[in-house]
Amino acid sequence: MIIFKKKSLKLNKIKYFVLDETDRMLDMGFEEQIEKIKQSFKAKPQTILFSASIPKEIIKLTNKYLVKPVRVEVGVNSLPVSSIDQQVINLTKKEKYKWYGY
């Protein structure tokens, strides 16, 4: 991974490490790269995994990277948890960058 060799990516202020489509990442053989990225953090950010399915490999990964993991399922048969405030914010492209502080 060239970014790590050049030391051009600073990961010392990372608060969240989010892996989306984790099942696909593992299917494609990215576990080694995930491990290298995870090892490069100076602090221990909160790790969040998203996956459409939960195969055994994902469960293995959660045990490896997560502390006290909480599983949240969304689907036809599940309802939103009442303690979670959900909002939709419609923004123009110009407003989006102001929203995120760019």
Residue 3 lies in a domain: no
Would you place residue 28 in the very low, low, confident or very high pLDDT band (cuts 50, 70, 90)?
Answer: confident
Structural domain count of the chain: 1
- The verdict on residue 35 lying in a domain is yes
Residue 2 covered by a domain: no
pLDDT at residue 77 greater than cutoff 70: no
* Residue 80 domain-assigned (yes or no): no
How far apart, in whole angstroms, are the C-alpha atoms of residue 77 and residue 89?
Answer: 25
**Of the candidates 43, 44, 47, 40, the residue with the CA atom closest to the CA atom of residue 65:** 47
In a domain, 100, yes or no: no
- 20 in a domain, yes or no? yes
CATH number of the domain enclosing 48: 3.40.50.300
Strands 46-49 and 16-19: parallel
Q: For residue 23, what are the domain limits?
A: 10-73
pLDDT class for 100, splitting at 50, 70, 90?
A: low
Domain presence at residue 32: yes
Cα separation of 96 and 74, whole Å?
A: 26
Nearest-angstrom CA–CA distance, 54 and 22: 9
- Supply the Cα-derived Rg of the chain in whole angstroms: 17
Domain contains 84: no
pLDDT at 3: 61
Contacts of 18 (CB under 8 A, 6+ apart): 47, 48, 49, 50
3-class secondary-structure state, position 63: helix
> Full-prediction pTM beyond 0.75?
no
